[in-house]
Structure 1
Amino acid sequence: MDWKYLQSEPFQLRYVLAAYLVRYCMDVIEIGGCEIPIHVFMDLRNHGSITVVDPRMKTGFTIDNKRQIASVVHINKPIQECHFPYSEFGLVILGMHIQGDLEPVFDLVKRSKVTVIDFSLDFKPSVDQFNQMLQATQRPIRMQFKLDLTGNDFGDLTDSWPARPIRQMYVL
């Protein structure tokens, strides 16, 4: 099964919002993003590096920094197998449903300058993970908003998971 609805314009607006919210971060890490990586929506001239980590990510994608734009790297590993030495970075998790140990993710949230998280309020595993994250990291919610994408055209969803159009976005 695919997540075809993520290709639709209404769902892509989440990326536009997230890209705006991390615009002042020199380095950006996205957990997930195999369907549509966040760098597609970013001005690459404003960042040093953008790293997208997803075990389902296609390997070998890199944009060099030769033209004074951000280096972009896709890593097809679980986030638990990655190490990031950045001190001030933006963290983006759109469609929060992390597999495996959450402690490495909590560590990234604690160290990040800005964390942007989006998930469906109808998907209990995401709600539970977010609540665990808040408790473990003690990061305050700086901003939150609800996105109701109901009634929009999500395209052909044959062989796709159903769209979850009621979204909550948080900025920590």
Structure 2
Amino acid sequence: MAGPYASARAKASHADDGAEAPSGVLLPHLAGPAACLRQVLAAHAVRHCPHIVEIGGAGLPITGFLTHQPRSVTVIDPKIPAFSAATLNGAPCEVRHLAAKLQAVALQPVSPFALLLLGLSLKPFGGTQATAPELLVLAAEAETLVIDYALDLERACDQIAAITATRTTPPLIDLAMAIDDPGLREAGYARRRFLVYGGA
């Protein structure tokens, strides 16, 4: 069975277990003690999903927060260290961190899969818009879709409608929260919205 990725532009480092994956450089506003609450909530939302795809994730990839034993985890972010492993949490799992833009990776996700967009803040790539057709197809096909974004980040607010329009049912969880973390507060990103579509 093919994994959820087809190609990557960077050579990946390898470790025995995906829990050892390097996170990459953590942005200053995500370095505080409460910023990872989003990943903890997302890991719970996808705890039944056998295949996980995260777009973004440099600094705080979902891989190290997962508590279950998925069969594959793919994280795509141009700023994440390229990485691969064959196990996660002591069980067989195809773990790949791809140092690339989504538009540069030919994804073939295995269903059912979860798609995570934590800290939504996508940028265009070449002539392709930020909410690229590839992303919208993934959002529509994901059994579980998890989105977190800052309510005061204009770019994210401009992108959310196109992504949520791919879903045919309302979100299971639509949570407004303020994370009173000094870094998030100073950056203006403390007020957030956390959405979960599908899942249980």
Q: TM-score, structure 2 length as denominator?
A: 0.74
Q: Is the 8 A contact 1:94 1:117 kept in 2?
A: yes
* Code of the aligned partner of 2:195: Y
> After superposition, what is the alpha-carbon deviation per residue over 1:12-37, rounded to whole angstroms, capped at 9, x for unaligned?
01100000000100000010011111
Q: Does 1:89 align with 2:113?
A: yes
Q: Is the 8 A contact 2:152 2:188 kept in 1?
A: no
Q: Note the residue ranges of structure 2 that are not aligned, 5 or more in a row.
A: 1-24
Q: Is the 8 A contact 2:51 2:111 kept in 1?
A: no
Change (3 A) 1:136 1:89: closer
Equivalent-residue separation in structure 2 for 1:2 and 1:48 (angstroms): 27
The equivalent of 1:140 in structure 2 is: 170
The equivalent of 2:81 in structure 1 is: 58
2:154 maps to which of 124, 127, 143: 124
Q: TM-score, structure 1 length as denominator?
A: 0.86
Superposition pairs of residues 33-72 of structure 1, within 5 angstroms: 33-43=57-67, 45-59=68-82, 61-65=83-87, 67-72=90-95
120-129 or 81-90: which moved more? 81-90
Q: Is the 8 A contact 2:151 2:192 kept in 1?
A: yes
SS in 2 for 1:122: coil
The equivalent of 1:170 in structure 2 is: 195
Q: Is the 8 A contact 2:69 2:91 kept in 1?
A: no
The equivalent of 2:43 in structure 1 is: 19
> After superposition, what is the alpha-carbon deviation per residue over 1:36-55, rounded to whole angstroms, capped at 9, x for unaligned?
11111112x52001110001
Q: Is the 8 A contact 1:110 1:139 kept in 2?
A: no
Identity of aligned residues (%): 26
Give runs of ≥4 in structure 1 deviating > 3 Å.
136-139, 152-155
Shift in Å at residue 97 of structure 1?
A: 1.1
Shift in Å at residue 64 of structure 1?
A: 1.5
> After superposition, what is the alpha-carbon deviation per residue over 1:68-110, rounded to whole angstroms, capped at 9, x for unaligned?
2422111011111221231210111111111223211110011
Q: Note the residue ranges of structure 1 that are not aligned, 5 or more in a row.
A: none
More helix by share: 1
